[in-house]
Amino acid sequence: MIVSVSHRSVYRYDAPLRLAVQSLRLTPSHFDGQKVLSWEISVEGGTRGGAFRDGAGDWIESWSVRGPADRVEVAATGTVDTTDLAGMLRGHRETVHPLVYLRETPATMIDTALADLAAGAARGATSPLDTCHALSNAVRAAIAYRPGVTGAHTSAAEALALGEGVCQDHAHALIAAARSLDIPGRYVSGYLLADQDGKEHEAAHAWAELWVGELGWIGFDPANACCPNDLYIRIGSGFSAQDAAPIRGIASGPGAEALDVTVAVTAGQQ
């Protein structure tokens, strides 16, 4: 499927910034399920710095904006040809060993409730893949989709206690639940073509990948109770939302920052 993306982030400052530096993980991954037809990143008034593919296979670009400036606009636009691989990350080149993703982060700490959820879900599972599906379903059942109740720093344990959250919370909870069973898991940032089924979705999306032995990394999207298919565009991964963030930046200056994000994901060429 041909999917087009236009992702704009506008940072506004109430006092001029001196220098903004950004690390952008904002380019679709290379693997058998995605072929990038065109992709462009631009930062208004910015200078492009180093660019490289990291050990996890993500393309990283560094940008800086020298002040004085009162806004920074980051835009990523392009078109990707996607194929449904039922969540499999086939043909993705990376050097990070899966065991690295057993690391605990503040967002993915395991508490008793998460461990119980995982143990309950795994009971009766007939294969490692089956276990992962069961975990994803259990997370979906335990955390209802509801925007606005959780925030950027809500942990998996807190979201589970609330019983509500968004895709970030689902992904964190799935990673923590998997790790409680010694299954490596990681956070994935990307986009979702949302207007196909008429339901409410987030266009800038996140899900989790779990390591399923010989099958490698497989994506699970608890928020939509499925594995990523050709409606998904994968951008990059990390231990948590913070580690996998498409944009990590710091502006120096006295001003307070306000962020405005618009993401449009559409079928076909733009």
Partner 1 sequence: MSMAPAFFNEMFDDNGIRPHYAKLGDWTQHMPAELRQMKQAEAEALFRRIGITFAVYGEGGDPDRLIPFDMFPRVFTQPEWRRLERGIKQRAKALNAFLVDVYGRGEIIRAGRIPARLIYGNEAYEKAVTGFVPPKGVYSHIVGIDLVRTGPDDFFVLEDNCRTPSGVSYMLENREIMMRMFPALFRENRIEPVDAYSTILRRTLASVAPAKCESDPTVVILTPGHYNSAYYEHSFLADLMGVELVEPADLFVEGGFVWMRTTEGPQKVDVIYRRIDDAYLDPLCFRPDSMLGVPGLMDVYRSGGVTIASAPGAGVADDKAVYTFVPDMIRFYLGEEPILQNVPTWQCAKADDLKYVLDHLGELVVKEVHGSGGYGMLVGPKSTEDQIAYFRTRIEEDPDNYIAQPTLSLSTCPSFVEEGIAPRHVDLRPYCLVGEKIELVPGGLTRVALREGSLVVNSSQGGGVKDTWVLAE
CA angle (232 as vertex; 223, 259 as ends), nearest 5: 75
Q: Does position 70 bind partner 1 by CB under 8 A?
A: no
Q: Does position 42 bind partner 1 by CB under 8 A?
A: no
Q: Does position 55 bind partner 1 by CB under 8 A?
A: yes
Write down the least CB distance from residue 26 to partner 1, Å: 13
Write down the least CB distance from residue 9 to partner 1, Å: 15
* Contacts to partner 1 from residues 147-186, by CB under 8 A: none
Interacting span for partner 1 (CB under 8 A) from 31-39, 61-69, 74-82, 127-135: 61-69
Write down the least CB distance from residue 92 to partner 1, Å: 13
What whole-number distance in Å separates Cα of residue 169 and Cα of residue 167? 5
Question: Which of 1, 2, 10, 19 touches partner 1 (CB under 8 A)?
Answer: 19
What whole-number distance in Å separates Cα of residue 79 and Cα of residue 239? 27
Write down the least CB distance from residue 129 to partner 1, Å: 22
Non-local (6+) Cβ contacts of 268 within 8 A are 2, 4
Beta bridge mates, 87: none
What whole-number distance in Å separates Cα of residue 167 and Cα of residue 204? 10
CB 160 within 8 A of CB 143: yes
What whole-number distance in Å separates Cα of residue 58 and Cα of residue 47? 20
Q: Does position 259 bind partner 1 by CB under 8 A?
A: no
What whole-number distance in Å separates Cα of residue 20 and Cα of residue 13? 11
Binding mask 221-250 for partner 1 (x = CB under 8 A): ------------------x--x-----xxx
Contacting positions for partner 1 (CB under 8 A): 19, 21-23, 47-56, 60, 62, 64, 66, 94-97, 99-100, 102-103, 239, 242, 248-250
